[in-house]
Amino acid sequence: MSDQKPKEESGHPRASDYDYEKRVAMACQLLCEGKNPTQIKEVMEERLGVKLTREMPYRYIQHGAQMNWLKYESPQDGELAERIKDRYLKRLETVVVPRTGELIHTAHAAASQIIEIFKKIKVEESRDTVHLGVAGGYTTDVVCKQLAHLYTQGIRNLPTKLVLHSIASGFDSDTVRTDPNVQLSHFENQAFPEHISIKFVTLNAPAIIDSSNRQNIMALQQIVDAKASLHKLDVLITSIGDRNDEHSAVRRYYDKIIQQKNQGDSGQQGSANDLFTGAKTTWNMLQEQDYVGDILWQPISSTGIIDIQTLPVHGLSLISLQEIPGLIKNGTKVMVIAAPCAKCHKIKTNVVKALLTMDEQLLTHLIIDRITAGKID
């Protein structure tokens, strides 16, 4: 302070003003201790020897939030998580159950778990390079944003070289947010410490392919190059889609194609018309195979994997579901984030149940909201 006498605080922050930032930090700390704004005002006046207006604690707290000095972490239901883990012990290493159904809380829990896995690699394996694979969907977009932010926080014992892989193409033509390439851009928009380096292995390929062309497409050099390093993946993160959720990217794709066909979009010729026919046939075949939802844009039934090569058309992913058990055996952690739909909040119970009970192991880590967890407990 420039003087020790009580004075009125102007309330106009300057980025270089040490005294102002000190007051912001004090107000945030007092808030976290459970004090209300009136109490914060009284304590700050006593400690700092200043006279504050009634509004100043609110301004300090608001500024602290804008500077990311305040962070809310959803409490977790540890008891419910342990029950689920115990029931499915052979396939689940970790279960985390945030007590709320908000997407941001589930995504933050997932990002925090990724950080813990990376720290363990750094400490126990003395390895400074880690590889993270990202599938698509709204949920993984929020997870990537949260993880990128955590990497700016100077957390100790984190690997300094992060290699990020796009595992699938963007599936939704109405938004870029579900595209893994776009999700990885969260790591370009952060001010990382100088010792942190980020490398990208992106995927530029069609989201939907004709199964008859799969072999030729997978032989394209860019796809071969992108797939070549997938054996190095330390963590693979993916969300899931539910066939009963009208906002599911996979369901919306088929709904859109079939709707266009039914409305007589007859100007479509050649390959476009073949896509209509293939999509409708695929959708009908999925219903016959008890399709419940998707993971990595690939369909599963209530009892197991649906072989995409038996379908006329399917989503493109660098990793087939049949390959995931092998990745897990080789040490890759596969994290499924089972958050409610970002738009309608529909939960995805049937998909989670299928993943936990099918013969094939497709996950090692489950981050799941409390409502959905309660349905499978």
Each residue of 190-235: pLDDT tens digit? 888 889 999 999 998 888 888 888 899 999 998 999 999 999 999 9
Mean pLDDT of 5-20: 55
Q: Which of 41-45, 105-109, 170-174, 185-189 has the lowest mean pLDDT?
A: 170-174
Q: Give the chain's radius of gyration (CA, Å).
A: 24
Indicate the pTM of the whole model: 0.85
pLDDT value at position 8? 44
Most confident of 20-24, 114-118, 243-247: 114-118
Position with higher pLDDT, 264 vs 96: 96
189 falls in which pLDDT band (50, 70, 90)? confident
Q: Average pLDDT of 149-156?
A: 88
- H helices of 68-171, where? 78-87, 103-125, 138-150
CA dihedral 129, 126, 73, 350 (to 10 degrees): 70
**Averaged pLDDT for residues 157-168:** 95
Whole-Å CA distances, 3 to 224, 298, 338: 68, 67, 55
Convert the pLDDT of each residue in 275-324 to its tens digit: 678 888 999 999 999 999 999 999 999 999 999 999 999 989 999 999 99
Domain at 78-376: CATH code: 3.40.50.1360
Residue 167: band (very low, low, confident or very high) from pLDDT cuts 50, 70, 90: very high
As a residue count, the chain comes to 377
Name the residue with higher pLDDT: 43 or 272.
Answer: 43
- What is the per-residue pLDDT for 174? 75
